[in-house]
Every structure is written in structure tokens, then in C-alpha cells.
Structure 1
Amino acid sequence: MVEAATGGTYPDALQKYVLDPLGLENTSLPSEVALPEPFIHGYDLTGTDPMEDVTEGLAPGWAWASGGVVSTPADLNTFVRGYVSGELYSAEVRAEQQKLFIPGGESGPPGPGLNSASLSLFRYQTECGTVYGHTGNTVGYTQFIAASPDGTRSVTVSINLQRTDHSEDQAAFVFDALQRAELAGVCMALQG
């Protein structure tokens, strides 16, 4: 869709419309197996000890536009602030995103609070207030990013295990702890 809309390649559009305007110097779309350094190692605990380092078992380039972007927590905060505030697109697009949220819509795994989804935007209504952002995971990693409605406050929570709301046993305990950490991060961000 990006290539059809821009007439260029997805990597070029990502650079021109997102990375350059926000100054995201530590964010990239690798096309190789190797991750750009430095990077956080991801792990799998599904087997027995020792845990398996799966960092380079899945090339980010294989996920490409579906999650292949590699970034740092600082760049993630800059991105979510710019995205939620509307810095990357017009006021008309931002208004369309805010029109209709579908209850229960999530980016997977669910974020904290009541989740709902709109046009490429996810809303998390929590006891501390409402934030907008995204969650995601892949082998070895689970992420949550969100910003206040005006984009002035943000939170990034990352763990180097893949955990979801479908996790069982100890993994479910870790996912519950992750959601508590996400909520604590939202509360701290919104309370300043």
C-alpha cells in the first residue's frame, strides 16, 4: 500500500516520512539477517535450562513492513510522541483516526486497560487516563509504546521474551507482570 501510494519503495518512504522528520537516527529497517548494533538480546524460555538466545534466529528483514523495524527505547518514545501528536500527518488524518474506535480492538498482545482500535491507532483507557500507541511481539521480544493524547508524554516498556495474553503457567505470570509495568508506566507518564 505504501509503495502504491508513494510511487517509491517502502524503505524510502519510511526514511522520508518517518525517520528523517522525527530525527530517528537509531531506527532502521534491516534487510539482512544481522541486527544493527547495539541491540538487546531476545530469549526463549520454552525449553529447559539454559534459556536460548534467539536474537539472531529470525532476521528482522524477514518481517519487513510487518514488524521488521529495529529501534531503541528513546527512538520509540520520539516516534510515538510524533505519531500521536499528528506531527507526521495532517490534522484531517488525525481527526479521522479519532472518529471511531472499535472496542476490544488491539494490536496484540493487549495493552493495559480497556483496548480499542481505530485507523492504525490503538487506544488504552486506564485508571490513570487514556493513552494512544501500539503493542507488538516477535520471537524473543514484547513491546508497548504509548503517548498522551497531545503527544507530550510517553512510555516505552520492553521485555526480551515473547509473552502474550495466551501465555500459560510461568509465562502467563510474566505477561501479567508486564501489563502491570505498562500500567505503572502510563500512570507515571501521565502524572509527570
Structure 2
Amino acid sequence: MVLAVSMSAVLVSCSDAGPSDSTTSVAKNTSVVGRLAGLAQKAADTGSLGVIVRVESPSGRPLAIARQASWTKADHHLEATDQFRIASNTKTVTATLILQAVAEHKIQLDDSVETWLPGLIHNGTNITVRMLLNHTSGLGDYLLTPDFLPTLTGHEKRTWSPEQLLAITPRQNPEFPPGEKYSYSNANYAALELILEKATGKSLADLIDKKITEPLEMKDTFLSTDAAFSPGKPHAVGYEPDAQRLSTILPDDLNIPEGSGFVGPERPHGNVETAAIDVSWSGAAGGLVSTAADWQRFLTALMSGKILPETQMKEMLTTVPAPEEGGGYGLGLMKVETPCGTVWGHTGGQPGYSSEIYTDTNGRRSAAVLTTTNFGIQEPKAARANKALVDATICAMLDKPYPAESDAPSS
């Protein structure tokens, strides 16, 4: 799930040697491969720490690159096929399942939340399923609240139910009427999980297996129930800034207790390894583990019309203004305007893992950039390098030239 924070510190380069050399390409010309590999290594050395880049187009076999800061190789040699916590990209799957239930006449988008979850959500009579899906409900977010922060950072091991997460969800400050504007909140998808399971009589995990991963043969994708990845399957190792660095990244108005930081083994350059933090609480809002290839398979199938009927796909692509996401937000899907054109997909962030995965409008091309830190790329220098990589990857996906160096973000 997206952990949106403001940025106030500049990260010193974290590399102490040359690039990791996991690169595969058949379809792309050498200049594109070289540019992406160089930008990926620069991002890794500037604060992203580890980066997986994968591009698919109709013209040939996928391009896949993995780069990492040299010191991280002692923990794991990153590969483009590694499993990864794709976090809030999960929301697109959840929205797809809701829309499938709509097509089956089990749910209506204009149903009130109160109809499905009586007494559970403040102002639920005026909030609809559609508003939950496109984040216009007016619900706040539990993610960085004092009640939840110890779980997020790994200091407290606790299993949270969606009902419990909704119970600690604060009011928006200032509040706004449901349906008035976009404001991203993971609480929306905690509520959708309950509605989906109530409407279908099946668990979220079962619905994902039967309706998404099994039909699409996504063999490396599953819903987390603990901190583990698939046995015997290599997975990316995630990192976050230590408490001292984190204090310079988080905005002061969050009132985070002094000394708060992520639990995990200390690593060089003020980092903490976070791969063992249990994020099973994220459920329908961000609980899926996947790979770049698996997720691109899902997104391209979705955008090419292979999963949802035309009517429901049209609803999914109907957006509300969401400038903070780079364009608009539909039903579990972001519309992002980039230097090379419009793309659709989502972003995700959890302790140690950040991702941006997109397709073109027709689902014929896709691009993924997976990064082994989330808060670490909130620091200005790291953010610029990461954005340059994402922009260049999208341009490569669309077979368009990367903007001139003078127009690209500087480091």
C-alpha cells in the first residue's frame, strides 16, 4: 500500500562498487537497454538500493534488468524473477473482484456501505461501494496512526482484522462529504474486503486463487498470511532508513514518537533490513506477493478486456481527478500522465518494498519498476533518480524516445 510522506533530507550514495549484472534482453536495441541499465544502477546507488525493471511489448521478448547497491549483495543477489511484495497494486485485483461480483449481480456500485456493513463505518449511509473503490468516501487512513504504527514498523506482532482496522480509522481532517473529492485511504479497501466476502460467501484468498491467479497461471502470486515468501522461491530483500534517517523523512505533523524506526538487522549507510516484517494485515488493500512477470500478465489481461465485461471495464476506467497520483483514479486503477504518454496501473509501498506497474491503454505493453525500499526513495536525491528510471522505463514500453537529458530530472 502507498505510504505517502513528504521529503526533507538528501541521501548520500549507498554503493561501494560497480553494478550487479543481471540483465536479459532480446527485443530491445542496445541503446535502450544501456540507458535503462545505467539509470537502474544510478537509482540503486542513490537510495533505491535494489531495482527490478521489466518491459514487455509486442515486438519481442521481454527486457528484464536487476541492479543493486553493492553492499546489498551480502544479503541477496537480486534477480528480475524474484518474488516481491507488490503492496497496493493489490487494490487493482480487489477492484476487479468487486466488478466481477457486480457483473454477477451480487453487488451494485451504488449500494451504500451501511447496507453491507451496518454500523461499522461512520457516515456509511452516504458512502457507496463506488466511493470506496475510487477513494472518494471521505474515510481517513489508519496506516500512520499511533495505534497502528507499532505494527507497521514491526515492533508489535499483531493480527488485525478488517473490522479492527476500520475501528481505528480516524476522521479526515478536515472532513469532507462523501463523493466530493479524492483522498487515498487503505481503509476503503479494508471495507471492500468485508463486502466482497459477504456478497460472495468466499474468502478473499479463495477468490484471488479461483478468479485471478489460477486462470491466468500466475504461479508466483499469493496473498500473505504471515511474513513468509514461497518456500524455495528467491525473493527480494527490502530495506528502510533507520530511526535517525526516518525522522528527517516523515512530516512533523504526524507526531511520530521520537526514536521510532523499523525492526530488523542493521545494515550499512543507516539502513535496516525489513524483509521479516509481517504485513498480513494489509489484505485486500495490499497483501499480495508476486513477481514482475506475473503482475504484468494480470494487468495486460485486464486492460485488454480478458477479465471483465465491457460495461464493468468502462466503470473501472472512469476516473476522478487525482493530481497526487499523476492524473486520475478509477476503480482500483490509476491513470498516469507521463512524459511519453498515458499509462494505467498502480503503485505500491510497504516496509522495504515499492513498486510502479503500468500498461498502455490497450494492454499490449507493460512496464514494472520494483524498488527494495519505500521510505528510502522519499529523500529528494533518491526520488529524482527513481523518477528518472520510471519515466525512462515507461518510454521504453511505449517505444518512444526518452526525453532529452536537459529535460530529465537531475541528480
Partner of 1:32: 226
Shift of 1:77: 1.1
Instruction: Report the AA paired with residue 347 of structure 2.
Output: T
Partner of 1:54: 274
Partner of 1:41: 237
Shift of 1:105: 5.3
Contact (CA 8 Å) 1:11, 1:29: kept in 2 or not?
yes
Instruction: Report the AA paired with residue 134 of structure 1.
Output: H
Higher relative contact order (CA 8 A, sep 6+): 2
Cα separation, 2, equivalents of 1:160 and 1:27: 18
SS of the residue 1:56 aligns to: coil
Partner of 1:158: 370
Cα separation, 2, equivalents of 1:126 and 1:34: 35
Instruction: Report the AA paired with residue 316 of structure 2.
Output: Q
Cα separation, 1, equivalents of 2:227 and 2:339: 41
Match of 1:70 among 285, 289, 297: 289
Cα separation, 1, equivalents of 2:305 and 2:199: 19
SS of the residue 2:215 aligns to: helix
Cα separation, 2, equivalents of 1:172 and 1:2: 39
Query: What percent identity do the matched residue pairs reach?
Result: 29
| Structure 1 residues not aligned, in runs of 5+ | none
Q: Does 1:104 align with 2:309?
A: no
Contact (CA 8 Å) 1:101, 1:118: kept in 2 or not?
yes
SS of the residue 2:213 aligns to: helix
TM superposition score normalised by structure 1:
0.85
RMSD: 2.0
Instruction: Report the AA paired with residue 136 of structure 1.
Output: G
Q: Residues 164 and 95 of structure 1: is their aligned pair in 2 closer, same or farther, counting only changes over 3 Å? A: farther
Shift of 1:90: 0.9
Instruction: Report the AA paired with residue 392 of structure 2.
Output: A
SS of the residue 1:191 aligns to: coil
Q: Does 1:12 align with 2:206?
A: yes
Shift of 1:38: 1.6
Shift of 1:56: 0.6
Contact (CA 8 Å) 1:163, 1:175: kept in 2 or not?
no
Report the structure number with the largest CA radius of gyration.
2
Contact (CA 8 Å) 2:240, 2:376: kept in 1 or not?
no
Partner of 1:181: 389
SS of the residue 1:155 aligns to: strand
Partner of 1:125: 337
Number of residue pairs matched?
180
- Between 134-143 and 82-91, report the one with greater CA deviation: 82-91
Shift of 1:97: 2.2
Contact (CA 8 Å) 1:35, 1:60: kept in 2 or not?
no
Contact (CA 8 Å) 1:134, 1:146: kept in 2 or not?
yes
